[in-house]
């Protein structure tokens, strides 16, 4: 029996020998999970082991001797599913005299499986029997690991295939696609076959900025997603976020890539950006973006020692289109205006819309020194004026307009963008005030005035609630010297500013609308006073004249407000006289007359204040339900010295008499003035000659001291005037 293939280990048990090389080998073999065998299959088909290595002990719970004695004990352990295959592979190897390499399971105990590999060679002996010599090894660990691997690969594969996000594996060197999932096929539009014939380069498209963005190979382990623009089968582009992972694919370096389509998200982000920073109508930057750009421009210009300018552009009469033709027409004008402004400046200049018809242009690179730069800004403003002066053709109408432009320069000193914008804005308002189609440059003096005004406005808002407003009473006197009443005049006692002159705060109250609550307070206070006086015989006949401002008078419920003040206080309406000015009445004469008539019907009288200073028209004077004309004090002042003033005053008195109106002269300061007026038939007087506007107690005290005045004409009375001594200063 040839033993050449089992060289190192004796095939038969032999008596113990002293430890030599063979003993050591045997000891080692016991520990290694493998064992040698020699198996003979006789002509009768029965198997007999010629040798079983002791190493079997490390693999199966059976001794070599036992197997040798009864081979069936080992055969019985073979997994039933593997028996047939094992026989077949053995028979084939025997027939072909080839190697027998196989792996099979044995079950040495219930629930226990051991994987064995067999590697043997068959020799046919002279007696026809077959001799197998070889070895078996325990490969359970490897088989389990492979099974686990196969299992996890299967799971990965499922994840890959069923992933709703497009995924593929491509060769890391050739970039050829090696496999793609269904989502990639669906999203990109190429069939799987077409995909596998392409490389990654076929998908890539340079980004909108031309950069070949998003090479996933540049990433490290897919931690940072890169973005790329990919071309779809239909030619359209999508933006993708790529995450990738290196792997080995059939032994080659490859990369698994996940391509998340972010096109819609990016579009939404862009939309959000657009809404936040751009005017939805014109698409021009809005105030937020403008401020941002202006900040950068101011910083850049100052850094570069250059000059820039901000132009605030406002369309004159835009409100008219909006009011008369509706908002769609207004929008159309704005769109055309925006386009004209845009075309008028360089691409690097910012054009923004702040809302309404207000546009802002930032000119960042003006050549030359400060003066030359201002000249360039002026030229730009002129150009804008020209293009905006052209008619706007909108649906079924042609709109003619002009623009008012305010310019503020920047660059010489460190200044905040917000301030530059404010300067340009205030210059624009000055341009508007100067008339249509005007350009104005900002100058600091104007700014100071504006700031002062803003502070005054803040204070005025508090004045009423904090009780800083008072009324002064200025006597109105008849020729007999009898005080017939008083004009109430507002006084603002500011805690810090002191006495603020009415001419400083009344126009402001008018502009801001504060005159409405303030005027109401005056009216109510006057009515309460009249009601109080009615209880006293000495004061019962007194009248009060109350000044009414245009804004106040135009309130739709003005009549009701007056009536309520009267009824709430219980004052006699015939004791109340409202002073209106001509300019107030000119606005909407029919509405004015209606209001006056309503109040006249309840007994309230009207006086036309500052008469002679406006564009008095006799035709409407006739229509107004007036009781009294009040000659402005500018005519009274020079009445004794200026012949034309004297003539005017005489004319007014004569005209009033013809119209059946009484006349009162205001600003009477001297006996000469008084004498002249009396001589020409003026029936009532008001002025320092009789008394300055004073607090109520002083006014009431002065009532006792009255005496006839007209006869005393030659003697100047001012010094001896009973109320002059206690007068509060007017200004
Ligand atoms: P006005 O209604 O024409 O009031 C007459 C102004 O002439 C008052 O100035 C008065 O103090 C002043 N005045 C009276 N006599 C003389 C005089 O002999 N010489 C000179 N130089 N001035 C005299 P005031 O009080 O400063 O008021 C100015 C204007 O403020 C008033 O002009 C009136 O338009 C407005 N105003 C005052 N109080 C009110 C009010 O309660 N409501 C409204 N809406 N306006 C008021
Ligand atoms: Mg008045
Ligand atoms: Mg007046």
Q: Is 178's pLDDT higher than 70?
A: yes
Provide the pLDDT for residue 20.
56
> pLDDT digit string (tens) for 81-122?
999 999 999 999 888 888 898 999 999 988 899 999 998 888
Shortest-distance atom of ligand 1 to CA 632: 3
> pLDDT digit string (tens) for 648-674?
999 999 999 998 999 999 999 999 999
Query: Cα separation of 557 and 563, whole Å?
Result: 10
Contact by Cβ (8 Å): 615, 586: yes
Contact by Cβ (8 Å): 613, 630: no
Closest Cα to residue 511, out of 566, 550, 565?
550
**547, 670, 731, best to mutate for ligand 1 pocket (most atoms within 8 Å of CB):** 547
Provide the pLDDT for residue 626.
95
Query: Cα separation of 575 and 335, whole Å?
Result: 57
Shortest-distance atom of ligand 1 to CA 501: 26
Beta bridge partners of 114: 106
Q: Whose CA is nearest to atom 15 of ligand 1?
A: 687
Backbone φ and ψ for 347, nearest 5 degrees, come out as -60, -30
Q: How many CB atoms lie within 10 A of CB 71?
A: 16
Q: Whose CA is nearest to atom 43 of ligand 1?
A: 547
> What confidence tier does 727 reach under pLDDT thresholds 50, 70, 90?
very low
Q: Is 198's pLDDT higher than 90?
A: yes
Residue that the structure tokens 């004498």 belong to: 675
**666, 672, 716, best to mutate for ligand 1 pocket (most atoms within 8 Å of CB):** 666
Provide the pLDDT for residue 186.
95
**463, 476, 492, 502, best to mutate for ligand 1 pocket (most atoms within 8 Å of CB):** 502
Residue 497 CA to ligand 2 centre (angstroms): 24
Q: Whose CA is nearest to atom 23 of ligand 1?
A: 667
Contact by Cβ (8 Å): 509, 518: yes
Determine which of 397-406, 560-569, 594-603 has the lowest per-residue pLDDT on average.
397-406
Backbone φ and ψ for 523, nearest 5 degrees, come out as -60, -45
Q: Which has more pLDDT, 472 or 269?
A: 472
584 alpha carbon, closest ligand: 1
Copy the structure tokens of residue 384: 């804008």
CA angle (130, 133, 134) in 5-degree steps? 145
Residue 687 CA to ligand 3 centre (angstroms): 11
Residue 493 CA to ligand 1 centre (angstroms): 16
Provide the pLDDT for residue 304.
86
> What confidence tier does 262 reach under pLDDT thresholds 50, 70, 90?
confident
Residue 707 CA to ligand 1 centre (angstroms): 25
> pLDDT digit string (tens) for 229-244?
999 999 999 999 888 8
Residue 666 CA to ligand 3 centre (angstroms): 7
One DSSP character per residue, 82-132 reads HHHHHHHHHHHHHHTT-EEEEEEEEEEETTEEEEEEEEEEEEE-TTS-EEE
Backbone φ and ψ for 103, nearest 5 degrees, come out as -130, 135
How far are the Cα atoms of 56, 334, 340 from residue 327, in angstroms, in the given order?
A: 99, 10, 20
Q: Is 343's pLDDT higher than 50?
A: yes
Provide the pLDDT for residue 207.
60
Q: Whose CA is nearest to atom 37 of ligand 1?
A: 489
Query: Cα separation of 552 and 44, whole Å?
Result: 132
Long-range contacts of 97-101 (CB under 8 A, 24+ apart): 97/122, 97/123, 97/124, 98/122, 100/132, 100/134
Closest Cα to residue 405, out of 363, 371, 444, 459?
363
User: At 433, is the secondary structure helix, strand, or coil?
Assistant: helix
Three-state secondary structure of 268-336: HHHHHHHHHHECCCCCCECHHHHHHHHHHHHHHHHHCCCEEEEEEEEECCHHHHHHHHCHHHHHHHHHH
DSSP 643: H
Closest Cα to residue 486, out of 442, 543, 526?
543
Q: Is 56's pLDDT higher than 50?
A: yes
Residue 730 CA to ligand 1 centre (angstroms): 9
Residues 6+ apart with CB under 8 A from 208: 229
Determine which of 70-84, 265-279, 502-516, 643-657 has the lowest per-residue pLDDT on average.
265-279
Provide the pLDDT for residue 404.
94
Residue that the structure tokens 């004297």 belong to: 646
Copy the structure tokens of residue 417: 């963008």
Residue 492 CA to ligand 3 centre (angstroms): 18
Query: Cα separation of 619 and 327, whole Å?
Result: 39
Copy the structure tokens of residue 153: 């690969």
Helices 502-512 and 444-465 cross at an angle (nearest 10°) of 80
Q: How many CA atoms lie within 13 A of 387 on its CB side?
A: 17
> What confidence tier does 211 reach under pLDDT thresholds 50, 70, 90?
very low
607 alpha carbon, closest ligand: 2
Provide the pLDDT for residue 521.
96
Determine which of 184-198, 331-345, 426-440, 714-728 has the lowest per-residue pLDDT on average.
714-728
Please state the rounded mean pLDDT for residues 252-281. Answer: 85
Q: Which residues surround ligand 3, an ion (CB under 5 A)?
A: 609-610
Provide the pLDDT for residue 245.
82
Query: Cα separation of 676 and 635, whole Å?
Result: 12
Shortest-distance atom of ligand 1 to CA 579: 2
473 alpha carbon, closest ligand: 1
Determine which of 272-276, 377-381, 415-419, 546-550 has the lowest per-residue pLDDT on average.
272-276
Residue 728 CA to ligand 2 centre (angstroms): 17
Provide the pLDDT for residue 29.
60
Q: How many CB atoms lie within 10 A of CB 438?
A: 19
Query: Cα separation of 527 and 699, whole Å?
Result: 16
Contact by Cβ (8 Å): 97, 104: no
Provide the pLDDT for residue 722.
37
Provide the pLDDT for residue 591.
92
Residue 588 CA to ligand 1 centre (angstroms): 25
Q: Whose CA is nearest to atom 17 of ligand 1?
A: 667
How far are the Cα atoms of 54, 81, 598, 683 from residue 61, in angstroms, in the given order?
A: 12, 21, 124, 143
Shortest-distance atom of ligand 1 to CA 689: 18
Copy the structure tokens of residue 475: 């006597």
Q: Whose CA is nearest to atom 21 of ligand 1?
A: 667
The alpha carbon torsion through 607, 610, 613, 619 (nearest 10 deg) reads 0
Q: Which has more pLDDT, 355 or 615?
A: 355
The domain defined by 163-204+224-277 folds into: Beta-Lactamase (3.30.450)
CATH top-level class of 280-442: alpha beta
Residue 527 CA to ligand 2 centre (angstroms): 17
How far are the Cα atoms of 20, 41, 69, 376, 417 from residue 87, in angstroms, in the given order?
A: 39, 12, 21, 103, 94
Q: What percent of the chain has pLDDT over 90?
A: 51
Provide the pLDDT for residue 3.
33
Query: Cα separation of 348 and 421, whole Å?
Result: 18
Closest Cα to residue 352, out of 282, 299, 296, 401?
282
Residue 701 CA to ligand 1 centre (angstroms): 21
Beta bridge partners of 485: 476, 543
Residue 453 CA to ligand 2 centre (angstroms): 24
Q: How many CB atoms lie within 10 A of CB 621?
A: 18
Residues 6+ apart with CB under 8 A from 400: 391, 392
Q: Which residues surround ligand 2, an ion (CB under 5 A)?
A: 547, 579, 609
Contact by Cβ (8 Å): 259, 184: yes
Q: Which has more pLDDT, 292 or 11?
A: 292
Copy the structure tokens of residue 336: 């055309």
Shortest-distance atom of ligand 1 to CA 510: 44
Q: Is 28's pLDDT higher than 80?
A: no
Q: Is 2's pLDDT higher than 60?
A: no
Q: Which has more pLDDT, 1 or 343?
A: 343
Q: Whose CA is nearest to atom 12 of ligand 1?
A: 667
> What confidence tier does 43 reach under pLDDT thresholds 50, 70, 90?
confident
Provide the pLDDT for residue 264.
85
> pLDDT digit string (tens) for 599-646?
999 999 999 998 888 766 777 788 899 999 999 999 999 998 888 899
Going 241 to 245 to 250 to 251, the CA torsion angle's sign is positive
Residue 47 CA to ligand 1 centre (angstroms): 138
Q: Whose CA is nearest to atom 19 of ligand 1?
A: 667
The alpha carbon torsion through 628, 632, 638, 639 (nearest 10 deg) reads -10
> What confidence tier does 260 reach under pLDDT thresholds 50, 70, 90?
confident
Beta bridge partners of 48: 40
The domain defined by 36-145 folds into: Beta-Lactamase (3.30.450)
Provide the pLDDT for residue 32.
67
Query: Cα separation of 165 and 180, whole Å?
Result: 11
Q: Is 375's pLDDT higher than 70?
A: yes
Pocket of ligand 1 (CB under 6 A): 474, 489-490, 501-503, 506, 519, 522, 547-549, 579, 609-610, 633, 666-669, 686-688, 693, 730
Contact by Cβ (8 Å): 226, 214: yes
> What confidence tier does 569 reach under pLDDT thresholds 50, 70, 90?
very high
Residue 65 CA to ligand 2 centre (angstroms): 138
Averaged confidence pLDDT in the chain? 85
Helices 502-512 and 515-533 cross at an angle (nearest 10°) of 120
Backbone φ and ψ for 383, nearest 5 degrees, come out as -60, -45
Query: Cα separation of 366 and 195, whole Å?
Result: 56
Residue-range domain boundaries for the chain: 36-145, 163-204+224-277, 280-442, 463-703
**463, 469, 489, best to mutate for ligand 1 pocket (most atoms within 8 Å of CB):** 489
Q: What percent of the chain has pLDDT over 70?
A: 87
Closest Cα to residue 55, out of 64, 46, 42, 43?
64
Residue 486 CA to ligand 3 centre (angstroms): 13
Provide the pLDDT for residue 721.
39
Provide the pLDDT for residue 5.
32
DSSP 501: P
Provide the pLDDT for residue 154.
64
> pLDDT digit string (tens) for 678-726?
999 999 999 999 999 999 999 999 987 655 444 444 333 333 333 333 3
Are 280-442 and 463-703 the same fold in CATH? no
Shortest-distance atom of ligand 1 to CA 490: 38
Q: Whose CA is nearest to atom 4 of ligand 1?
A: 489
Shortest-distance atom of ligand 1 to CA 669: 18
551 alpha carbon, closest ligand: 1
Beta bridge partners of 486: 475, 544
Q: Does CATH number 3.30.70.20 belong to domain 463-703?
A: no
């Amino acid at each position: 029996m040839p033993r050449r293939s089992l060289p190192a280990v004796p095939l038969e048990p032999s008596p113990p020998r002293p430890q030599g090389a063979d003993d050591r080998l045997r000891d080692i073999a016991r520990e290694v999970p493998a064992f040698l065998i020699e198996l003979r299959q006789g002509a009768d088909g029965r198997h007999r082991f010629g040798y079983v290595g002791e190493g079997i002990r490390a693999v199966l719970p059976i001794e070599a001797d036992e197997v040798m004695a009864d081979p069936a004990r080992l055969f019985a352990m073979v997994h039933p599913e593997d028996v047939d295959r094992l026989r077949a592979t053995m028979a084939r190897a025997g027939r072909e005299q080839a190697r027998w390499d196989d792996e099979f399971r044995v079950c040495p105990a219930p629930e226990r499986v051991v994987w064995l590999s067999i590697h043997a060679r068959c020799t046919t002996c002279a007696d026809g029997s077959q001799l197998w010599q070889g070895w078996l090894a325990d490969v359970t660990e490897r088989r389990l690991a492979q099974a686990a691997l196969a299992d996890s690969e299967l799971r990965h594969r499922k994840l890959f295939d069923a992933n709703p996000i497009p995924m593929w594996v491509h060769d890391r060197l050739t970039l050829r696609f090696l496999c793609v999932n269904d989502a990639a096929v669906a999203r990109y539009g190429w069939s799987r076959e077409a995909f596998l014939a392409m490389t990654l380069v076929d998908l890539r498209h340079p980004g909108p900025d031309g950069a070949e963005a998003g090479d996933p190979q540049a990433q490290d382990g897919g931690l940072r997603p890169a973005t790329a623009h990919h071309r779809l089968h239909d030619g359209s582009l999508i933006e993708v976020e790529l995450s990738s992972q290196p792997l080995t694919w059939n032994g080659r370096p490859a990369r698994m890539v996940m391509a998340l389509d972010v096109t819609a998200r990016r579009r939404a982000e862009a939309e959000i950006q657009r809404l936040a920073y751009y005017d939805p109508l014109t698409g021009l930057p809005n105030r937020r973006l403008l401020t941002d750009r202006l900040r950068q421009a101011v910083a850049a210009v100052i850094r570069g020692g250059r000059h820039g300018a901000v132009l605030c552009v406002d369309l004159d009469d835009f409100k008219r289109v909006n009011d008369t033709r509706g908002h769609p027409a207004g929008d159309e004008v704005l769109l055309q205006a925006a386009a004209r402004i845009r075309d008028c400046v360089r691409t690097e200049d910012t054009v923004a819309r702040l809302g309404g018809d207000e546009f802002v242009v930032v000119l960042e690179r003006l050549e030359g020194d400060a003066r030359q730069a201002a000249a360039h800004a002026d030229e730009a403003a002129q150009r804008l004026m020209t293009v905006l002066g052209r008619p706007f053709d909108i649906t079924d109408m042609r709109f003619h307009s002009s623009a008012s432009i305010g310019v503020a320069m920047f660059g010489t000193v460190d200044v905040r963008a917000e301030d530059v914008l404010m300067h340009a804005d205030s210059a624009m308002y000055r341009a508007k005030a100067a008339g249509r189609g005007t350009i104005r440059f900002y100058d600091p003096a104007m700014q100071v005035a504006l700031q002062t005004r803003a502070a005054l406005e803040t204070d005025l808002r508090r004045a009423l609630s904090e009780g800083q407003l008072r009324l002064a009473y200025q006597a109105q006197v008849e020729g007999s010297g009898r005080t017939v009443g008083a004009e109430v005049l507002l006084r603002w006692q500011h805690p810090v500013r002191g006495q603020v002159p009415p001419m400083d705060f009344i126009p402001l109250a008018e502009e801001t609308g504060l005159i409405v609550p303030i005027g109401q307070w005056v009216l109510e206070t006057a009515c309460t006073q009249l009601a109080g006086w009615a209880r006293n015989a000495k004061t019962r006949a007194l009248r009060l004249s109350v000044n009414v401002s245009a804004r106040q008078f135009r309130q739709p419920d003005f009549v009701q407000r007056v009536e309520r003040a009267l009824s709430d206080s219980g004052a006699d309406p015939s004791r109340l006289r409202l002073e209106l000015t001509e300019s107030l009445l000119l606005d909407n004469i029919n509405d004015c007359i209606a209001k006056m008539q309503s109040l006249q019907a309840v007994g309230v009288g009207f006086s036309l204040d500052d008469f002679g200073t406006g564009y008095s028209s006799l035709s409407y004077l006739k229509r107004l339900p007036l009781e009294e004309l009040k000659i402005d004090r500018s005519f009274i002042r020079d009445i004794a010295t200026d012949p034309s003033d004297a003539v005017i005053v005489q004319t007014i008195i004569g005209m009033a008499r013809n119209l059946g109106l009484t006349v009162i002269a205001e600003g009477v300061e001297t006996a000469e003035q008084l004498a002249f007026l009396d001589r020409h038939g003026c029936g009532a007087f008001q002025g320092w000659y009789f008394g300055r506007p004073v607090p109520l107690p002083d006014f009431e005290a002065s009532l006792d001291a009255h005496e006839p005045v007209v006869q005393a004409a030659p003697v100047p009375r001012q010094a001896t005037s009973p109320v002059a001594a206690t007068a509060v200063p007017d200004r």
